[in-house]
Structure 1
Amino acid sequence: MPAKRRGAQLIMLGFAVLIVMGAYANVGLAVDEKIPADMLTYGLALAGLMLAAYLVLAKFAPWADPLILPLVTLINGLGLVMIFRLEEAKQGGASSANQIMWTALGVVMFSATLIVLRDHRMLQRLTYTAGAVGIVLLAIPAFLPSSLSEVQGAKIWIRLGSFSIQPGEFAKLALAVFFAGYLVAKRDVLALAGRRLLFIDLPRARDLGPVLATWVVSLGVLVFEKDLGTSLLLFGTFVAMLYIATQRTSWVLIGVLLFVGGAFIAGQLFDHVGARFDAWLDPTNPIYYGNAPICSQDPPGDPMCGKSYQIMQGLFGLGAGGILGTGLGQGDPDIIPLAFSDFIFTATGEELGLTGLMALLMLYALLVQRGLRTSIAAREPFSKLLAGGLSFLLAWQVFIIVGGVTNLIPLTGLVTPFMSQGGSALLANWILIALLVRMSDSARRPPPQAIQDEGLTQVFQR
Structure 2
Amino acid sequence: MIQTRLRQISLLLFAMAISFIAFFQMFERTAGTFPQQYAILLGVAAAMFLVLWGLTIRFQPYASQSIMPCVLMLNAIGTMMIARIDQQSGATVGTKQLLWLIVALVFAGAIIVGMRDYRILRRFSYVSMVVGLLLLLSPMVPGLGIDINGASVWIRVPGGTIQPAEFAKLFLAFFFAAYLFDHRDQLAVGGKKVLGLQLPRIKDMGPIIIIWGVSMGVLVMQHDLGTSLMFFAMFVAMLYVSTGRKSWIVIGLIAFAAGAVLAASIFSHVGSRVDAWLNPFSDEQYNKHFGGSWQIVTGIFGLASGGIIGTGIGQGYPNLTTYGNSDFIYTSIGEEIGLTGLLAVLVIYLIIIASGFITAMKIKDGFGKLLASGLVFTMAFQVFTVVGGVTLVIPLTGMTLPYMAAGGSSLIANYILAALLVVISNSANKPEPPADLSETFQYEALAALRDHELQKERDTR
Superposition TM-score, scaled by structure 1 size:
0.90
Distance across 1 between alignment mates of 2:404 and 2:337: 15
Residue identity opposite 1:5 in structure 2: T
Post-superposition CA distance 1:119-171 (Å, at most 9, x none): 100111111111111111101112334x8421111111111453311111000
Residue identity opposite 1:141 in structure 2: P
Residue identity opposite 2:317 in structure 1: D
Task: Give yes or no for the alignment of 1:208 onto 2:205.
Answer: yes
Offset, 1:37: 5.5
Structure 1 residues 178, 332: closer, same or farther in 2, change over 3 A?
same
Distance across 1 between alignment mates of 2:154 and 2:205: 32
Post-superposition CA distance 1:247-289 (Å, at most 9, x none): 111110110011011011011111111111111111234678x
Offset, 1:18: 0.4
Instruction: Number of aligned residue pairs: give it.
Output: 436
Question: SS where residue 89 of structure 1 aligns?
Answer: helix
Offset, 1:30: 2.3
Task: Give yes or no for the alignment of 1:364 onto 2:358.
Answer: no
Aligned to 2:179: 182
Contact 1:24 1:39 in 2 (8 A): no
Structure 1 residues 40, 164: closer, same or farther in 2, change over 3 A?
closer
Question: SS where residue 157 of structure 1 aligns?
Answer: strand
Residue identity opposite 1:326 in structure 2: T
Question: SS where residue 80 of structure 1 aligns?
Answer: helix
Structure 2 matches for 1:398-413, cutoff 5 A? 398-413=383-398
RMSD, aligned α-carbons: 2.1
Aligned to 1:432: 417
Residue identity opposite 1:16 in structure 2: A
Contact 2:138 2:145 in 1 (8 A): no
Aligned to 2:125: 127
Aligned to 1:458: none
Equivalent position to 1:295, from 266, 289, 296: 289
Aligned to 2:166: 169
Offset, 1:339: 0.6
Offset, 1:28: 2.0
Offset, 1:386: 0.5
Contact 1:172 1:234 in 2 (8 A): yes
Offset, 1:190: 0.8
Residue identity opposite 1:428 in structure 2: A
Aligned to 1:22: 21
Offset, 1:182: 0.5
Aligned to 2:333: 348
Distance across 2 between alignment mates of 1:130 and 1:3: 40
Structure 2 matches for 1:43-442, cutoff 5 A? 43-90=42-89, 92=91, 95-145=93-143, 148-160=145-157, 162-285=159-282, 294-295=288-289, 307-442=292-427
Distance across 1 between alignment mates of 2:3 and 2:177: 28
Distance across 2 between alignment mates of 1:5 and 1:196: 51
Q: 5+ unaligned residues in a row in structure 1: which ranges? A: 297-305, 454-462
Offset, 1:42: 4.5
Distance across 2 between alignment mates of 1:215 and 1:138: 14
Distance across 2 between alignment mates of 1:355 and 1:175: 36
Distance across 1 between alignment mates of 2:266 and 2:153: 21
Post-superposition CA distance 1:382-437 (Å, at most 9, x none): 00010011110110000000001111111111001001111000000010011100
Question: SS where residue 262 of structure 2 aligns?
Answer: helix
Contact 1:349 1:356 in 2 (8 A): yes
Residue identity opposite 2:239 in structure 1: L
Offset, 1:445: 1.1
Offset, 1:449: 5.4
Question: SS where residue 161 of structure 2 aligns?
Answer: strand
Task: Percent identity, please.
Answer: 43
Larger Rg: 1 or 2?
A: 2
Q: 5+ unaligned residues in a row in structure 2: which ranges? A: 439-461
Q: Which has the higher helix share?
A: 2
Offset, 1:114: 1.7
Structure 1 residues 389, 33: closer, same or farther in 2, change over 3 A?
same
Distance across 1 between alignment mates of 2:276 and 2:117: 46
